[in-house]
């Protein structure tokens, strides 16, 4: 049995891949850069050059594949339905899809595929805090426009749920809302970060306009930047309401933000800033 993982080196894809390998499964990783992928994925993963957003580059990636994990990205809106059609034609009989924040063309294609499918609907990733690394290391601050609660979810838990849905019965036709075990305001996450690295980090509030401009400067389109910041300005109740889906699927509690920080604190930490 072989599972093809798209977006295999992304925030969640690498965790899906690692969990499948941990469970002794054969994994084929679709990646634009196999050399880089080899440095971040476990040994034993079959690396295939290509991308699911350009089907001309897909080649024989689906040959002999029984299961498929798809990460819905912006570029998949156009190619996703055809990717699903090709996967089913190639013999894939179980699909998990990590949604793009809403049920769009690829999510609909998966649900209409005629094979067993599970849709993963995580809320905000804990790894979004990695956008704070540079300002924390250089200035000891986090700059965000809002201080609202978010039930942030560990990307490793998302990967573990995906692996369970791919390998185990009982998940077909289900859409799983995935959160962490607690809702934390931005200020509360910053306080936990301060404790984890052993020196103060301040939350500096910026305007909505500054937040949009920051995303645009990072290469996000103005429309997408407005959407992202608008979502954070008025998040849906699902984003700040913890649910126990992770515990129900995995038989263990969802990991906390403190757990995540214990794994990543070294990425934020530097010698104490000069006074």
Mean per-residue pLDDT of the chain: 93
Residue 170 CA to its chain's centroid (Å): 23
Give tens-digit pLDDT for 115-134: 999 999 999 999 999 999 99
What pLDDT, on a 0 to 100 scale, did the predictor assign at position 78? Answer: 84
How many other C-beta atoms are found inside a 10 Å radius of the C-beta of residue 236? Answer: 9
Please state whether beta strands 46-49 and 94-98 pair in parallel, antiparallel, or not at all (unpaired).
Answer: unpaired
pTM of the model: 0.93
Q: Which two tokens stand for residue 51?
A: 């991308």
What pLDDT, on a 0 to 100 scale, did the predictor assign at position 270? Answer: 67
Confidence of residue 75 (pLDDT cuts 50, 70, 90): confident
What pLDDT, on a 0 to 100 scale, did the predictor assign at position 57? Answer: 80
What pLDDT, on a 0 to 100 scale, did the predictor assign at position 77? Answer: 81
Contacts of 270 (CB under 8 A, 6+ apart): 137
pLDDT exceeds cutoff 50 at 274: no
What's the Rg (C-alpha) of the chain? Answer: 19
């Amino acid at each position: 049995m072989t599972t093809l993982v798209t977006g295999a080196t992304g925030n969640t894809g690498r965790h899906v891949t690692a969990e499948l390998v941990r469970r002794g499964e054969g994994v084929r990783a679709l990646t634009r850069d196999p050399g880089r992928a080899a440095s971040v994925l476990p040994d034993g993963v079959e690396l295939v050059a290509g991308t699911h957003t350009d089907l001309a580059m897909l080649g024989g990636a689906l040959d002999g594949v029984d299961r498929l994990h798809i990460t819905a990205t912006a570029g998949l809106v156009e190619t996703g339905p055809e990717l699903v059609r090709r996967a089913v034609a190639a013999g894939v009989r179980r699909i998990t899809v990590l949604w793009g924040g809403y049920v769009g063309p690829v999510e609909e294609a998966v649900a209409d595929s005629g094979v067993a499918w599970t849709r993963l609907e995580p809320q905000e990733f804990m790894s979004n805090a990695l956008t704070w690394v540079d300002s924390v290391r250089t200035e000891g601050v986090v700059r965000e426009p809002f201080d609202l609660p978010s039930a942030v979810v560990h990307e490793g838990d998302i990967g573990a749920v995906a692996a369970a849905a791919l390998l185990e019965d009982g998940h077909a036709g289900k859409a799983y809302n995935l959160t962490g075990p607690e809702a934390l305001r931005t200020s509360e996450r910053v306080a936990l970060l301060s404790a984890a690295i052993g020196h103060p980090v301040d939350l500096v509030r910026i305007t909505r306009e500054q937040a949009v401009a920051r995303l645009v400067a990072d290469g996000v389109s103005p429309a997408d930047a407005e959407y992202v910041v608008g979502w954070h300005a008025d998040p849906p109740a699902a984003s700040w309401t913890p649910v126990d889906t992770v515990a129900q699927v995995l038989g263990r509690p969802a990991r906390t933000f403190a757990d995540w920080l214990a794994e990543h604190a070294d990425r934020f930490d530097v010698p104490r800033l000069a006074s």
